[in-house]
Amino acid sequence: MSLTLKQDIIRKIEAEKAKVSNVYQIKSKTVKFTEQLFLTLFDKETDVTTGMDELELQFKVLADLVCFKEEDPCREIWTDFMKKLPDILQKLNKDACFIKENDPAANSIDEVYLAYPGFYAIAIYRLSHALLEFGLPIVPRLMSECAHTSTGTDINPGAKIGNPFFIDHATGVVIGETCEIEDCVKIYQGVTLGALLVDKTLKHQKRHPTIKSHVTIYANATILGGETVIGEGSTIGGNVWLTKSVPSNSFVTHKSMVKINQNKNHE
């Protein structure tokens, strides 16, 4: 390749690159911060004082990368976030107990903490949701992507989720930004709590369903729409498609037809 051609290619790349302001290290630093959060909150061998000091340093580096308001630096969010951690941890312990109590395959609470992708996704959600409430840009969404990448569960940090909460198997679960889930809800793999319509003009409207307390939603059910409410105590069967509300204590199932063509010549 000639030097002139190489320089021309570089100029074109630089021109396109200048159109965005990404600092890609934000992503890797968010992953590191999320891992440190888990170690500090859940690992017996990690000293809490040391862990919190390390978290503060990592957070301030992140905040300086994502915040652009000199008069209101979001590194100051750290103190308020830190105050919330005991309450978040208490909720997560309640989530873990709820999982153990409801899943016959769970042999111990340690197994839930270490091996359950649903618990990991819930934990990342609760931590990222708290940061989102304080207005920290980008980082909460990147934290949710840590869970999405490792578990296949996509919970937008803007969702409102009660306590306790149980996601079994976890893979393929999608919970949208304006979804509201009350206490003691159980959902299974492949469940989508989504919007009826994807349209930018709906950004500030409630687009995702409300799930009342003590609801169970089985695998691959899809529930859509901001006005859709699943009444308390209801059970939604597998593969159900819902765009309308159902009253309390409903039992909703999907009726399928299985047709088997037999070869009469085959005895």
Query: So what's the pLDDT on residue 74?
Result: 78
Q: What is the pTM of this model?
A: 0.90
Model confidence at 259, pLDDT cuts 50, 70, 90, reads: confident
By CB atoms closer than 10 A (0-12, 13-18, 19+), residue 14 is exposed
Q: Is 195 within 8 Å of 221 (Cβ atoms)?
A: no
Most confident of 59-63, 229-233, 259-263: 229-233
pLDDT tens figures, 127-159: 999 999 998 889 999 999 999 999 999 999 999
pLDDT tens figures, 209-226: 999 999 999 999 999 999
**Continuous H helices in the chain:** 3-17, 25-42, 48-66, 77-102, 109-115, 117-133, 139-151
Q: What is the C-alpha separation between 81 and 69, in angstroms, rounded?
A: 19
- Other Cβ atoms closer than 10 A to 107: 11
State how far the alpha carbon of 124 is from the alpha carbons of 61, 62, 159, 168, in Å: 20, 17, 12, 16
H or E element: which one contains 98? helix 77-102
Q: Which domains, from first to last, does the chain contain?
A: 25-153 (1.10.3130.10), 172-254 (2.160.10.10)
pLDDT tens figures, 28-77: 999 999 999 999 999 999 999 999 999 999 999 999 888 866 656 677 88
Work out the mean pLDDT of the chain and round it to a whole number. Answer: 92
Model confidence at 107, pLDDT cuts 50, 70, 90, reads: very high
Length of the chain in terms of residues written: 267
- Other Cβ atoms closer than 10 A to 217: 29
> Residue 150, SS3?
helix
pLDDT tens figures, 162-187: 999 999 999 999 999 999 999 999 99
At 78, give phi and psi (nearest 5°): -50, -45
Q: Is 153 within 8 Å of 173 (Cβ atoms)?
A: yes
